[in-house]
Structure 1
Amino acid sequence: MTRHTLLAAAVAATLMLAGCRAPAGDEAAEAAAPAALTAPTTDDDGAWKAYLGQVIGQNMDGITERTFNYYLPAATDPAEVDGPYSRMLGDVQAAVQRGVLPGNMLSFSSPNSTMMADLIVAAFAAEGVQDTALKGSRVLFIGEAKDESRVAQAVTATGAEFRFVEKK
């Protein structure tokens, strides 16, 4: 076969395959409508992390830098000295006191919404946290509606964009 024949066959195949695609409007509508997510009904960490990964993914619009995800298992004991709760509280306090650069997102989630809300409020109220510490960044809280307002108040005091997703 000559070069021209091969080129003509490639163009014809491309045109035929392009005609097999679904209309662009249908794809755009499917992509624009995120799937409704349902939170796990158990305390299984694997199921929760899979659910939270999807919720976080749906809230990445406008994020140009890193995402820092904070997750506490339901069985975490806040009173445990040097336990997961106290270590995370220290980590979050240090990050907020240092400041978070614009374009980053901090996400907070736990099967125990109240425990996570307590941690966020305590960390963001720590001494030395400035009112511009998170300006240009986003804080995503995945929890129960009863905890939303107190978390929002603590977060917005640092200049961050606050986003809440109710776990259902």
Structure 2
Amino acid sequence: MRKLVFLAAIALTGVSGLSACSQQESADQAQQQVQAPVAKPTDPNDSAGWKKYLVEQVKQHMQGVNTRPYMYYVPGGDSDDAVSQRQNQLDNVSDVVARTVLPGNMMAFGGPDSAKTADLIVAAFKNAQPGSFKGVVVLFVGDAADQQRVADALKPSAAEFRFAQM
């Protein structure tokens, strides 16, 4: 009888150990699935897809950032709704720029229309105080054609400019 109890205990321990290995493998597989890169959306009207894409780009450029980033999705299109959303976003960003942001933070901008995103950044930073963004990272997710004008607009503020090609 003792041998039977002893063998049952060993079997139970073995099964527990194997199930723990299986759970670890499942967790590893889930982690790999989570880390799969998000592809750039092909539909400019897919706001949810573009926001996920922006989050993925921000994650890749977080070095030196100590806090949660400020992410600004800039909608594309010329509908009244899109124009209104961009104006609201410009007002919001302009207020943040006027108050400045503490060093170690990040402001990230992206959307389906690189030119409209660049326009928003340029307009928001036109009145930034010289040197007021020293130690702040500004990430622009856009096209190379818009990279230089955004960099030029940010230069007086002393922000650390980072660019991610769409």
Query: What TM-score, normalized to structure 2?
Result: 0.73
Task: Give the partner amino acid of 2:116.
Answer: M
> What's the offset of the Cα at 1:134?
0.9
- Distance change in 2, residues 1:51/1:99 (3 Å): same
Q: How does 1:1-168 map to 2 (within 5 A)?
A: 38-43=39-44, 44-75=46-77, 77=79, 83-126=84-127, 129-167=128-166
Task: Give the partner amino acid of 2:41.
Answer: P
Q: Percent identity, aligned pairs only?
A: 42
> What's the offset of the Cα at 1:77?
4.7
Contact 2:38–2:52 at 8 Å: present in 1 too? Answer: no
- Hey, which bits of structure 1, 4+ residues long, moved more than 6 A? 78-81
Select the structure of larger CA radius of gyration: 2
Contact 2:138–2:160 at 8 Å: present in 1 too? Answer: yes
**Matched residue SS, 1:157:** helix
- Distance change in 2, residues 1:60/1:163 (3 Å): same
Give the gaps of 5 or more residues in structure 1. 1-13, 18-33
Deviating more after overlay: 36-45 vs 114-123: 36-45
Cα distance in 2 for partners of 1:103, 1:80 equals 31
**What's the C-alpha RMSD, in Å, of the aligned pairs?**
3.0
> What's the offset of the Cα at 1:73?
2.0
Q: How many residues align?
A: 140
Give the gaps of 5 or more residues in structure 2. 1-16, 21-34
Task: Give the partner amino acid of 1:147.
Answer: D
Partner residue, 1:20: none
Query: What TM-score, normalized to structure 1?
Result: 0.72
Contact 2:40–2:50 at 8 Å: present in 1 too? Answer: yes
Task: Give the partner amino acid of 2:42.
Answer: T
Deviating more after overlay: 130-139 vs 72-81: 72-81
- Distance change in 2, residues 1:62/1:109 (3 Å): same
Q: Which has the higher helix share?
A: 2
Contact 2:47–2:75 at 8 Å: present in 1 too? Answer: yes
Task: Give the partner amino acid of 2:60.
Answer: Q
